[in-house]
Amino acid sequence: MIHMLIKQFSLLFIFLLLINCKTNYTKTQKHVNIVWDNKELNEGIIHKSILKQELFNSKQTINVLEIDLRIMNLKPIVVFDGKKFIKPSTWGSKLNGMFAINGNFFDIDNGGSVCYFKRNDTLINNSKPDPEELLFLPMLDEGAIAIDANESLHILKKPMAGWETVKNYNTILSSGPLLIWQGNILEQDNIPFITDRHARSALGISKNKLFLFVVDGYRQEASGMTIRELSLMMKSLGCNAAINLDGGGSSTLWVNVGESKGVLNYPSDNEIFDHEGERKVANSLVFTENN
C-alpha cells in the first residue's frame, strides 16, 4: 500500500510539473513556409494574406497589414466609449482612420477592460484579477501597447513594480502574452489558452515597420493558431517585439486605404465564413494619418 501511494504521489507530482512547466520556443523555432498574397494598398502599406492555405498541419486564413514607418506618418489612438461596446470598424470610420484592430481583453457581461488601460494620462481601468470567474490571467497583462507624447507607438514589458510606475507614456493598453521581446520568442505557460488553437489578433514592430495581424478560427476554412504558432508567424515577419491582443470572436482587422475599404478578415461571431461577423468590443486601436 505504501509503495502504491508513493507511486501515485510521484505520478501526480510529474503531472503537476508538466502542467506548470514552460516551453522555450526559441530553441524549437522553425522556419515558417508560407507564400503570401501581397497587395500594395498605397506606398508603404502592404496587405499580406493567405486564404484557406495549409500551414502548421492545418488550414489557415490570415490577414496582415505591413506598414513602413519610414514612409507612413501614423497617429495611433486607443478608443473606447465607457458605456457600451463598439465595433473596430465603427471607430475606424468615425475617426476617418486608415486601419483599426480590436484591443485588449474585456468583461463581456459587465463591460470594461480587465487589463490595465490608461489614456492621455487618465486611468480608465486597472488590471482586475478574478481567478474565481477566470476573467483574468496575469499573462494577459504582461505587456502593453504604449503611446508617447510624440504619438509614437511602442511595445512594453510590464515592470515588476506595475504599470502605475511607468510615467513616460501618455497611453498604455496592456495585454498579453508577450510573444516576442528584444527579438526573442518568449517562453509560455503550458495551459489550454496557450496550446489550443483560437482566432488571434496581434501587433508587432520591427525597426522600421508596424505589423497588424489577425488569424481567423473556429471554421473549416480557418483553424486558428496556438500562441506558439502565432509567435512563429510574428517572428517570420521580422518583428523585434510582438504582443497578443484579445482574440476569438473579437479578432477584427479593418482598413480604409485607397480602394481597400472594410473588414479584411473573417470574424467568427456570426459563425459564417464572411466579413460580417464582427463583434462589438470594449476598446480598439485606430491609426489615422498624422498630418
Task: Give the pLDDT confidence score for residue 250 in this predicted structure.
Answer: 97
**Among 172, 215, 224, 222, which residue's Cα sits nearest to residue 195?**
224
Task: Please tell me which residue, 78 or 109, carries the higher pLDDT value.
Answer: 78
C-alpha cell at 114: 480587465
Does 32 have pLDDT greater than 90? Answer: no
Q: Report the DSSP beta bridge partners of residue 206.
A: none
Mean local confidence (pLDDT), 208-231:
98
Mean local confidence (pLDDT), 68-84:
96
Mean local confidence (pLDDT), 56-74:
97
**Which residues in 43-150 belong to E strands, given as ranges?**
45-55, 58-68, 74-80, 99-102, 117-119, 122-125, 143-147
Task: Give the pLDDT confidence score for residue 234 in this predicted structure.
Answer: 98
For the whole prediction, is pTM greater than 0.85? yes
Question: CA–CA separation, 70 vs 252, rounded Å?
Answer: 25
For residue 240, with 0-12 CB atoms within 10 Å meaning exposed, 13-18 middle and 19 or more buried, which class applies?
middle
Which range has the worst mean pLDDT, 26-35, 52-61, 172-181, 204-213?
A: 26-35
Tell me the backbone φ, ψ of residue 103, rounded to 5 degrees.
-95, -135
Task: Give the pLDDT confidence score for residue 33 in this predicted structure.
Answer: 81
C-alpha cell at 255: 482598413
Task: Please tell me which residue, 111 or 152, carries the higher pLDDT value.
Answer: 152
Mean local confidence (pLDDT), 154-163:
97
Task: Give the pLDDT confidence score for residue 16 in this predicted structure.
Answer: 39
Average pLDDT, the chain: 89
Task: Give the pLDDT confidence score for residue 28 in this predicted structure.
Answer: 38
Does 23 have pLDDT greater than 50? Answer: no
Mean local confidence (pLDDT), 171-195:
97
